[in-house]
Amino acid sequence: MGTKISSPTVYRTCLLVTWKTITFDLSISFVKIKRSTLSIILLAFAFLAILSGCLTAEKKEVHITINDDGISGTGKIIFTGIASSPGDSITVINEDFNSLIAEYYQGRKIELENKGWRNVHKKLYEQDGKLMAEIDFDFNDIADLSFFRYKNSGPRMLYTVADGFFTSGQYESSNGTYLGEKLPVIFWDSTQTDLSYRMSLSSPQEPKKSLLANYQKWLAQRH
């Protein structure tokens, strides 16, 4: 497991439905790396900013498997405890859930905004009294997922402090090496083909309005 920050400050993150460009500098072994990337806009299942509402979740887990070509592969993202903002009214909470279903789960918003993804499969389900969301996909180029390698060699890197699906949240753990708050980057050895990490998206003490009841009602109406 990677190094974990002790007692991190956890915060709730909303995904804005816009494209973002992230630029950052890393100084490692006297090599200065500067690169910009287009943040991925994802996912269905969490963080859609709708009117005054905002969807959140407790945690997200990202699992990436790289193919033999070192570029393409498969991905899985799991959200735990999907909820709406604590200040949202019942009307806004219902609108949040309806948009979640219509635009992302049943719609093609994810596919249209992530052209490098193929074979996208989305799932909502209940587990341990929480609303969960999962997306599985194939990708053509891991660079499109905000992972980097200097001159296409050496360790893979993920900068964890930025707006966007893959980078929003507070680092918890990974199967790589996390350098800490001063240099919030996860490194994976160049030989690793399975990359995973977990991010906190809200504090356990933060009041949230679970969307599980909305999901249960929606599921019952389908049967």
Radius of gyration of the chain (CA): 18
Question: Is 66 within the bounds of a domain?
Answer: yes
pLDDT tens, position by position, 10-33: 333 343 322 222 222 333 332 333
Question: Is 14 within the bounds of a domain?
Answer: no
Question: Is 9 within the bounds of a domain?
Answer: no
Three state DSSP letters for 68-118: CCCCCEEEEEEEECCEECCCCCHHHHHHHHHHHHHHHHCCCHHHHHCCCEE
DSSP assignment, residue 48? B
Question: Is 155 within the bounds of a domain?
Answer: yes
pLDDT tens, position by position, 162-198: 665 565 688 999 999 999 988 999 999 999 999 999 9
Mean pLDDT of the chain: 76
Angstrom distance (rounded) from CA 193 to CA 124? 27
Question: Is 4 within the bounds of a domain?
Answer: no
Nearest to 119 by CA among 102, 95, 136, 142: 136
Q: What pLDDT is stored for residue 104 in this prediction?
A: 80
pLDDT tens, position by position, 120-163: 999 999 999 999 999 999 999 999 888 999 888 899 999 988 66
Please compute the mean of the pLDDT values over residues 106-127 and round it to a whole number: 89
**Lowest-confidence region among 34-38, 55-59, 69-73:** 34-38
Nearest to 195 by CA among 163, 155, 223: 155
Please compute the mean of the pLDDT values over residues 79-105 and round it to a whole number: 85
Angstrom distance (rounded) from CA 121 to CA 54? 24
**pLDDT confidence tier of residue 113, bands split at 50, 70 and 90:** confident
In the chain, the number of structural domains is 1
Which structural domain, as residue segments, surrounds residue 106?
21-221
Question: Is 109 within the bounds of a domain?
Answer: yes
Two tokens, residue 63: 């699992």
What proportion of the chain, given as a percentage, has pLDDT over 70?
Answer: 70
Question: Is 178 within the bounds of a domain?
Answer: yes
Higher local confidence (pLDDT), 92 or 45: 92
DSSP assignment, residue 218? H
